[in-house]
């Protein structure tokens, strides 16, 4: 799981990235097919890295392309969290390369540099929250207003299957940071 890469994950949140960086994880929060429970949402929150959760393979493909755009726009890695059902499907994605630019103050995480990068991370988080309030990853599907469901990932598919038009749904695709509106 992502836990084995936690140290560099937290560091690259501070350094930012010199091009699109997308980290794909296939979690198993209910231990349906793993020997232990993995849930990378905790890592995204703690490291202040945005996380997208696609609900099917089509959305995973679209989210991957948009994740690179988000990464470049906000100078941050982006995590795509999939579960077993989504991870067992596949598509080919060929990323473009961007040349490395030497910037010691940004990419070398000595304490003095890290202290100066902390406000950058906090400001980026504020901007991502605002972005999440209006982005296509998060959407409301209005139907019957007697029941409202807030969901993400494959649970969205299950809710649609069970309730159809009997419930309004708030589908969260950008699960971290959560929109505040």
Mean pLDDT per 10-residue segment, the chain (181 residues): 88 91 86 75 93 89 92 96 79 71 88 91 95 92 95 92 94 92 88
The residues near 102 (Cβ < 8 Å, ≥ 6 apart) are none
The whole model's pTM is what?
A: 0.70
Which pLDDT score, from 0 to 100, does residue 149 have? Answer: 97
Which pLDDT score, from 0 to 100, does residue 91 have? Answer: 67
- What is the C-alpha to C-alpha distance for residues 132 and 12, in angstroms, rounded to an integer? 21
Question: Taking Cα atoms as reference points, which of 35, 58, 23, 65 lies closest to residue 176?
Answer: 23
């Amino acid at each position: 799981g992502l836990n084995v890469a936690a140290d560099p994950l937290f560091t690259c949140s501070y350094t930012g990235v010199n091009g699109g960086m997308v980290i794909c994880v296939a979690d198993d929060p209910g231990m349906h097919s793993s020997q232990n429970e993995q849930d990378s949402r905790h890592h995204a929150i703690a490291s202040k890295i945005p996380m997208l959760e696609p609900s099917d393979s089509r959305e995973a493909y679209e989210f991957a392309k948009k994740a690179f755009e988000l990464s470049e726009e906000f100078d941050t890695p982006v995590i795509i969290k999939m579960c077993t059902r989504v991870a067992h499907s596949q598509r080919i994605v060929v990323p473009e390369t961007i040349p490395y630019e030497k910037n010691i103050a940004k990419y070398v995480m000595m304490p003095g540099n890290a202290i100066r990068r902390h406000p950058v991370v906090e400001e980026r988080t504020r901007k991502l929250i605002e972005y999440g309030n209006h982005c296509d990853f998060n959407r409301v599907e209005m139907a019957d207003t007697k029941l409202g469901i807030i969901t993400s990932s494959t649970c969205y598919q299950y809710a649609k299957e069970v309730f159809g038009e009997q419930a309004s749904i708030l589908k969260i695709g950008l699960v971290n940071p959560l929109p505040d509106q």
